[in-house]
Structure 1
Amino acid sequence: MLLHLPPGFDPARPAPLVILLHGSGGTGAAMLRDSNLAEAADKHGFIVAAPDAGIPHDQGFVWNIPGVPTVAGTIPGPDAPDDVKFIGALIDQLAKAGCADPARVYATGLSGGGRMTSWLGCVAADRFAAIAPVVGLRAGNPLASDPTHPDPATCRPSRPLPVIAFAGDADTTNPIQGGGAKYWSYTMHAAEMRWATLNGCTAAPTTRWVAPKVYEERYTGCRDGADVAGRITVGGGHSWVVDNDALWAFLSQHRR
């Protein structure tokens, strides 16, 4: 695991922590490099932890999302490393050491790391103040009887959780229009709507341009201020299509 501390970090003052999760077959080191999140951390004063997943694959690793096949096509067995437990222990360790403020812990990740970030929101919402999946927003597994919808039984967060997701509309690996691998299936819009339902959002969703070629779909009027936002880059592909300052602006509004 790589840990990036911002300049001037004071061990006597616990800082916000962003857990950065790599894509399938990747590594934490490559994810930290490719996301440029260390530069944003230096600018805004948060810690980045970039761990490796528990299951080796090719030259890197894949995350264990129970019941969901990895990119190798196999479902992790009962003896596979428990990545939810591992990430929880990582948070505990950094909080106990006085580095991280446990009320300001966030998760983000790319592709398979975005799906893992979504899964953490489903099963460990009490550990995070907000999440930000990138080209990988999910709200549980696809429904067996109708894969165009998420299965409500597979994502039951313990509390409302703010979500901002990033994607490109030209992504052919995890298409925002749905399809792709079996664990993808339903649309990004369906995932947003499910999170809005889970968070008790009551206002009609809005769509606005936030930057050239970037529009945002947002659900507000949510319990505990847990907005759901999806930012889509027109022409963007399967990559880190993120304005890191906008990412941090959203995450930093929230405390657990």
Structure 2
Amino acid sequence: MVVCASVALWVFTHLNHSSQPSKHGTLSKRTILIEDPGLGIVNRTFFIQSPVNSTLGPMPVLMGFHGQGHRANEWANQHSFDLLASMRGWVTVYPQGMADGGSGTFDAGWNVGTNDDNSTCLPGTTGTGCHDSCRTLNLCGRCAWSTCYDDRAFVEQLLAQVKSELRVDEARVFAVGESNGAMLIHYLAASLPGTFAAAVPVFGSPLLGYLTGPAYQLVTDSRVRRTSVLQLHDRSDTTIPWQGANSADGWLYEPMMRSLGTWAALHGCAIAVTADPVPTGDPTTHTACFWHKGCLGGNFVGYCMYDGNHGDWPSQPFADQFIWHFLTNVSARESRLLEMERYIAHTETF
């Protein structure tokens, strides 16, 4: 069944719409009907904050993705992205992952398309289990571990509805997320090529074999070259080790250097990285950043390392402000490109 635009818009605007205070503003909780390719029409939840004055011009959008077992609004409240966004006229959107594990615990997470692949974990890996949605789809592999609701479809349709409700700049949509949410960002950057102007995964990497996307989009679809990438990762992570290979509990991950090296090659950047000084404000976790310089089209590819274990961020508010600085740099670049395209189109009419 296809949800017609009028029905979807009504649901977006009116169904289960409530507001609640966050640390830096008011998040509106909304529910939207999503056409899930495998499971039919599904209610999905998200939180959104938009500027009070949304008539000044097309607004950038920042999507934030929580980690496994977290709630979207609580994750938003742990960060200052709402405050930073409201000061600059951005929209913030926090989708909520599905919790259908049936274990009695809140295991909300994201589907990165690997549940039926038995090569992504070692025998005896802990934390495996088949969610109800996966049983319905017969996707209960040995390495099953997350929901099987289609989060690619969720994000794609959610963005379409946000764009229909608000005056959004489609060229300036950004994503940041941690752990399982960072894994989803890697997955979406490949499976929704060109959707994000920049992606910031934090202590999360693709499972082994999924670096280039489920259909190898990173090497087949030129639109992926729109996306700049900055990854942040703690140095002592054993849950999703930045070095890749097997984690402490038996999962197999791509090395961060291979992942970002692939993005660097796609953007025509230097393969060797250059260390850059980091703005002051991180006195405790010793953040060090490295960039693949010389990317074509002015794109950015880089990573930052800092002291900590899985779940740790660089010192706050430094971390959020540093990410925000990166996003606004990319946003300014996109604005300049748009102005140039408009100028060229205008001159060609004479």
TM bucket, shorter chain: 0.7 to 0.9
Cα deviations by residue, 1:38-74 (Å, 9 ceiling, x for unpaired):
2222333321101112353432411111124795444
Query: Aligned partners of 1:9, 1:25: CA distance in 2, in Å?
Result: 34
User: After the TM superposition, which of the residue ranges 86-95 and 209-218 deviates more from structure 2?
Assistant: 209-218
Describe the shift of the 1:133–1:86 C-alpha distance in structure 2 as closer, same or farther (beyond 3 A).
same
Question: TM-score by structure 2 length?
Answer: 0.63
How far the C-alpha of 1:93 sits from its partner, in A, is 0.8
Aligned to 2:294: 221
The CA RMSD measured in Å over matched residues stands at 2.7
Cα distance per residue 1:99-127 (max 9 Å; x no partner) = 42211111111100000011111111221
Per the alignment, residue 13 of structure 1 pairs with 57
Structure holding more helix per residue = 2
1:156 counterpart (210, 213, 217): 217
Relative to structure 1, the CA distance from residue 113 to residue 223 in structure 2 (aligned partners, 3 Å threshold; closer, same or farther) is same
- Pair 1:63-2:110 in alignment: yes
Q: Deviations over 1:125-182 (max 9, x none)?
A: 22111111111133xx414xxxxxx654644233212101111112232122323155
Partner residue of 2:307? 234
Task: Determine the C-alpha separation between the residues in 2 that align with 1:67 and 1:137.
Answer: 13
Q: How does 1:140-219 map to 2 (within 5 A)?
A: 141-143=207-209, 152=212, 154=214, 155-157=216-218, 158=221, 159=223, 160=225, 161-178=227-244, 179-180=246-247, 183-202=251-270, 204-210=272-278, 211=280, 212=283, 213-219=286-292
- Measured at CA, do residues 123 and 96 of structure 1 come closer, stay the same or move farther in structure 2, by a change above 3 Å? same
Greater shift in the superposed pair: 234-243 or 21-30: 234-243
Q: Partner amino acid for 1:215? A: A
- What is the DSSP-based 3-state SS (H/G/I as helix, E as strand, rest coil) of the residue aligned with 2:108? strand
Higher-Rg structure is: 2
16 and 221 in structure 1: CA distance in 2 versus 1, 3 angstrom threshold: same
TM normalised by structure 1 equals 0.84
| Identity, % of aligned positions | 24
1:67 is paired with a residue whose SS is coil
How far off is 1:225 after superposition?
2.4
Greater length-normalized contact order (CA 8 Å, ≥ 6 residues apart) = 1
2:319 counterpart residue number: 243
Asked if residue 108 in structure 1 is aligned to residue 144 in structure 2, the reply is no
Which digits, 9 at most, give the CA deviation of each residue in 1:184-232, with x for residues without a partner? 4332222221221232223631123414511111112223322211011
Structure 1: 4+ residue segments shifted above 6 A: none
CA shift for structure 1 position 249 = 2.0
Deviation (angstroms), 1:247: 1.1
Conserved? CA contact 2:54–2:89, under 8 Å: no
- In structure 1, C-alpha distance between the alignment counterparts of 2:320 and 2:57, rounded to whole Å: 23
Distance 1:166 1:82 in 2: 26
State the SS of the aligned residue for 1:24.
coil
Does the 8 Å contact 1:19/1:49 carry over to 2? yes
29, 42, 64: which one aligns with 2:86: 42
Three-state SS of the structure 2 residue aligned to 1:131 is strand
Instruction: Determine the C-alpha separation between the residues in 2 that align with 1:207 and 1:73.
Output: 41
2:50 partner letter: L
**2:175 alignment partner AA:** A
**2:7 corresponds to:** none
Q: Any unmatched runs of 5+ in structure 1?
A: 144-149
User: Which residue, 329, 333, 344 being the options, matches 1:253?
Assistant: 329
